[in-house]
Structure 1
Amino acid sequence: MILIVDDRPENILPLKKILELHRFSVDTAESGEEALKKVLQTTYSVIILDVQMPGMDGFEVANAIAGFSKTKDTSIIFLSAVNTEKKFITQGYTSGGVDYLTKPVDPDILALKVRTLHRLYEQQRELRATQDSLRKEIEVRKQAQEALAERMQELQTVLASLPQMAFIVAPDGRIEYVNEHWFRYASNAAAFPDTHSDDAFHIDWKQALGQGVEFTKEVRLKELATGDHRYHLLRVVPVRQQGGSGRWIGTFTDIDPQKRVAELLEQQVALRTSELLSKNAELERTNHELQQFTWVVSHDLKEPLRKIQLLNDTIKEKYLKDNPEAVSYLDRSIRSSARMSRLINDLLAYSQLSAPESFHPTDMNALLDELLLDFDDMLQQTKAVITVGPIPIIDTIPTRMRQVFQNLISNALKFAKQDQPPVITISAERVATKAIDAPASPTGDFCRIVVRDNGIGFDERFLSRIFVIFQRLHNRTSYEGTGIGLAIAKKNMDKHNGLISATSREGEGASFILVLPIVQPD
């Protein structure tokens, strides 16, 4: 802002108009006293001051203004129509003025002078603000340097107390500090200790230094006192500072005892692995022999058992028709023989589950349609209704999955209620994960198949028992069976990398749940 001081309003008005035309903000005062009051309240870049005024003249006003700290950057232009002599001009400059103009004044010249002095005023203020900012920054940096020095001292104190070899590296890679443990492996503090010829790390360390990233490596350092090489873990971490890279803090941690123990453990693991492979091979050979033995024994048992059944039937028909008591005893023998035959067949089937077989994409609906043909007679006798929903193509061992469904459907028909026909529903959906309660997902990688019936059901407290071989929840007199069927289903589902479980309540039927991959892993 520009201040015009003149005791005559007719002199102020044209000057004010001229400066306002040049886009200056202008304030006015009609006496020296008024001017001093305004200077105390407002900051002005330029003051145009009339010399000849009643009361305080321009020189007195300038001398008074010079004593104000807030006006040290303000420029004063004296303006006079009477006092044009050299002594007045000299007095004007000595009073603090930067220019002395006599009337009449060229308006353009006055505007140029005011513009120049106003720009100078702004530059002075900017310079002073810059200087203040620099002073503050210098002070902040000084405080930061002092704080950094304190932190470095604290850090060195901490590093000196560590049991590891500790050191500090400058941003240029020069070692600045080492603790006393350093000298067990190095003769001076300016270079890294000697390492084993196979553990050269300097190239990797220089690369990490250039990239400003953490560096970790196992090295073997040569102990000066013994000449032995001991394993150490070298870890160097960058400490970031404002404005770029900073120092590095590093440690060498003695891991020689752990390393020796690890090497010993690796040797023992290798030995145990070799022994385990040998035992596995022996176990596979024994398992194969056991399977062969089971098959031979089952086959050899079945032949005399068939003869026993045939002879029992013959004796019953030819010689015991008129002896009801003997027929009763013989029927018991025939039923026992039949149960033993089923047991032998189930045992043979269970023993063969470990044999390796390949997976094939299987149309499960076609497999079930074919399987249900085997149940035609039983379905007609029991008036059972079986509904099968769409099932996706799944990688399976078809014969094994046939066993699973055969056992589940057979159980559903066997454990039906006496007063109502069996109703069996087989449904399927894709799910996201391998879990019995996994959420449905149209694009899931697994398939959940549920075989639901309306039979007698069972108490879920015994769920863990029903998939164990020879475990039964009902006596043989009420329901026939060997207790192997669900164990075979469980083993087959394991072979398919799948799951099998069930939900049920007594008297409310049962639901058997299968979850298996759509595509088997390689």
Structure 2
Amino acid sequence: MILIVDDKSENIFSLKKVLEQSHFPVDEAHSGEEALLKVLRKDYALIILDVQMPGMDGFEVAEALAGTQRGRDIPIIFLSAVNIEKRFITRGYASGAVDYVTKPVDPDIFILKVKTLYRLSEQHRELVRTKASLTQEVEVRRQTEKNLKRLSAEQQTLIRSFPQIVFTVTPDGVLEFVNERWFEYSASKTAFPEVHPDDQRLKEEMDHATKQDEPFVSEIRLRHLATGTFRYHLLRMIPLIQGKSVVKWVGTFTDIQEQKDAHDELDTKVRERTKELMQKNAELELSNHELQQFASVASHDLQEPLRKIQIYSNRIRERCLVEGGDALTYMDRVIDASRRMSSLISDLLSYSRLSIKSLFQRTNLNELIEEILIDLEFSIKDKGAVLDIQPLPEVECVAGQIRQVFQNLISNALKFSVPGTPPRISISGEEYKDASGRTFCHIYVRDNGIGFDEQYLDKIFTIFQRLNAKEEYEGTGIGLAIVKKIIEKHGGTITARSAEGEGATFIISLPVTQNGDTHI
């Protein structure tokens, strides 16, 4: 924008028209004081200043502008029709003008001068702006460089304090930087630490990896200068990439000797413990085999005299104690005790035989339960029991053992029924998948018997544990222990839900398949 300063409006009007015809933006001031105020508020590319004005004349305005930050670089053209002498022209140039034009003004020459000065002014202003921008950029770069140097110094200090050995390598394999730990394994900044002879191939693999621009991680042994011993280190090499090229490699050696020693010691202890366990397992298997043989022989040897006790007791009762009395009562107790002893021996033998490996087979549980109901036909009729057997899935199991599970549970439901109330027994099942996706089946055996208090849930599955007096209900206290052991050997679980006088529900969870196992 061009500022015209003249106290006469007609002069401003004529100059303004000439300039606007050449598409120059124009502003006007009617006194020197107004011109100074406008220069402080706006940016001007050129000032056309009349010399002869009341108050401050043009020379005083030019001198005042030269003393301000905003006005001293604005080119000034003096216009005068009165002061055309050399001394006035000289003073005009001395006060900061770039041209001194006398009136009358030739419009064509005047416009050429204005265009030239306007262009030079704009170029000067652009140079000033560029210089300011460059000055700011230089300052920013200087500050950035200062910060980078500070950060670099901090990083160097941090790296030197690392417990690991830290180093950088150029793409052509020249060591560029090492921290203080490096000199525990190398006497020179340019020499790589001595590698164990058996690990030389790892050094070659590292060199190959760096040529392929691939990260490298491996265990390697380095010779410690002070002790002369080789210590295990974990070596990591990571490329620093700019654009598509690797500019350097950053490497670390982490001392893992203590971990290796601890691992080796643990391996040794594990091997020793495994050997001990294998030996103990062999001894246990031998002991179990001997125990099974003993149980079989013992049960046979114990059953034989018990049978004789029962036979001769029955004969004495039938032939010698027909008239009753205390002797008959005592003899009945002897017979009952021998019968319970015989059942106990049979149950103990069954429990011990569960340790013997057996073959898994695909088994139809419904057919198995039908066979059990045939065996228990007389007890079912005698009790007037009602049974509801729902379809059950086929499972891989030891059929004889699972048969014993259902036989014990059904027999218990018949045995522990409420006097005077026909037993109601239902058996149902459903398949489901566990968190790993393996298929199991839930089997529910429900009855309406006497039930039990659930606080004794764990007790009912413990061998020789009974919740009822043997005078009221027969049994050895082994049946449910046998059931639990069989289910667990099949990889399943068993629990129960009950309340006194409200019956019981036994819940069995069995895997449908045995994960490829063929024996237990």
Quick check: TM above 0.5? yes
From 456, 461, 467, the equivalent of 2:461 is: 467
Partner of 1:521: 515
Distance change (3 Å), C-alpha of 1:290 and 1:167: closer
CA deviations on 1:426-453 (whole Å, 9 max, x unpaired) are: 454556658xxxxxx9x77444444343
In 2, the alpha carbon distance for the partners of 1:209 and 1:465 equals: 71
Alignment correspondent of 2:133: 129
State yes or no: 1:169 paired with 2:163. Answer: no
Alignment of 1:414-493 (within 5 A): 414-428=415-429, 433=434, 445-493=439-487
User: For the structure 1 residues 286 and 47, does the alpha-carbon distance in structure 2 shift closer, same or farther, using more than 3 Å as the test?
Assistant: same
What per-residue deviation string (whole Å, max 9, x for no partner) do you get for residues 200-244 of structure 1? 34356564899797956352525566x5x3334346698999999
Contact 1:167 1:176 in 2 (8 A): no
How far apart in 1 are the matches of 2:44 and 2:369? 102
Distance change >3 Å, CA 16–CA 323, structure 1 → 2: farther
Q: 1:510 corresponds to which residue? A: 504
Distance 1:508 1:397 in 2: 32
User: CA 1:90/1:407 → structure 2, altered by over 3 Å: closer, same or farther?
Assistant: farther
Distance in 1 between residues matched to 2:388 and 2:184, nearest whole Å: 83
1:135: Cα distance to partner?
A: 0.8
Alpha-carbon distance, 1:375 to partner: 3.9
CA contact (8 A) 1:503 1:510 kept: yes
Equivalents in 2 of 1:150, 1:98: separation in Å?
60
* C-alpha distance 326-68 of structure 1, shift in aligned 2 (>3 A): same
The answer to whether 1:192 aligns with 2:196 is no
Larger radius of gyration: 2
Q: 1:497: how far off?
A: 1.9
Q: Deviations over 1:461-481 (max 9, x none)?
A: 433322221122222112111
Q: How far 1:102 moved relative to its partner?
A: 6.0
Mapped partners of 1:360, 1:71: distance in 2 = 108
Equivalent runs, 1:283-432 vs 2, <5 Å: 283-299=284-300, 301-302=302-303, 305-306=306-307, 309=310, 321-323=322-324, 327-388=328-389, 391-428=392-429
Cα deviations by residue, 1:385-417 (Å, 9 ceiling, x for unpaired):
444556555443333333223323322332233
Identity of aligned residues (%): 36
Deviation at 1:197, TM superposition (A): 0.8
User: Cα distance, 1:35 vs. partner?
Assistant: 3.1
Instruction: Please state whether the residue corresponding to 1:354 is helix, strand or coil.
Output: coil
Change (3 A) 1:275 1:38: same
Give, in angstroms, the shift of residue 506 of structure 1: 3.4
One-letter identity of the residue aligned with 1:221: R
Q: Determine the C-alpha separation between the residues in 2 that align with 1:12 and 1:401.
A: 120
- Measure, in 2, the Cα distance between the counterparts of 1:341 and 1:517: 35
1:183/1:144 CA distance change after superposition, 3 Å = closer
Structure 2 residue aligned with 1:149? 153
Q: Which residue of 2 aligns with 1:37?
A: 37
Q: Distance between the aligned counterparts of 2:93 and 2:490, measured in 1?
A: 109
- Aligned residue for 2:284, secondary structure, equals helix
Residue 358 of structure 1: CA displacement?
A: 4.1
User: Aligned pair count?
Assistant: 499
Once residues 416 and 107 of structure 1 are traced to their aligned partners in structure 2, the CA distance between those partners, rounded to angstroms, is 127
Deviation at 1:113, TM superposition (A): 8.7
Deviations 1:17-40 (A, max 9, x none): 668x89x8x755444432321232
Secondary structure of the residue aligned to 1:136 is helix
Kept in 2: contact 1:302–1:344 (CA 8 A): yes
Is 1:500 matched with 2:494? Answer: yes
How far off is 1:368 after superposition?
A: 4.0
1:381 match: secondary structure: helix
SS of alignment partner, residue 459 of structure 2: coil
The structure-2 alpha-carbon separation of the partners of 1:273 and 1:168, relative to structure 1 and needing over 3 Å to count, comes to: closer
CA contact (8 A) 2:409 2:445 kept: yes
Q: Distance in 2 between matches of 1:413 and 1:454?
A: 10
Find the residue that maps to 2:48 and give its secondary structure: strand
Q: Secondary structure at the match of 2:233?
A: strand
Query: CA–CA distance in 2 between the matches of 1:89 and 1:149?
Result: 62
How far, CA to CA, are the matches of 1:99 and 1:330 in structure 2?
Answer: 156
Give 5+ residue unaligned stretches, structure 1: 435-440
Query: Partners of 2:68 and 2:393 in 1: how far apart?
Result: 96
Between 1:74-83 and 1:485-494, the stretch displaced more is 74-83
**Would the alpha carbon gap of residues 342 and 47 (structure 1) be closer, same or farther in structure 2, given more than 3 Å must change?**
farther
* Other-structure match for 2:257: 255
Q: Residues 97, 366 of structure 1: CA spacing in aligned structure 2 closer, same or farther, 3 A cutoff?
A: farther
Query: Aligned partners of 2:388 and 2:378: how far apart in 1?
Result: 17
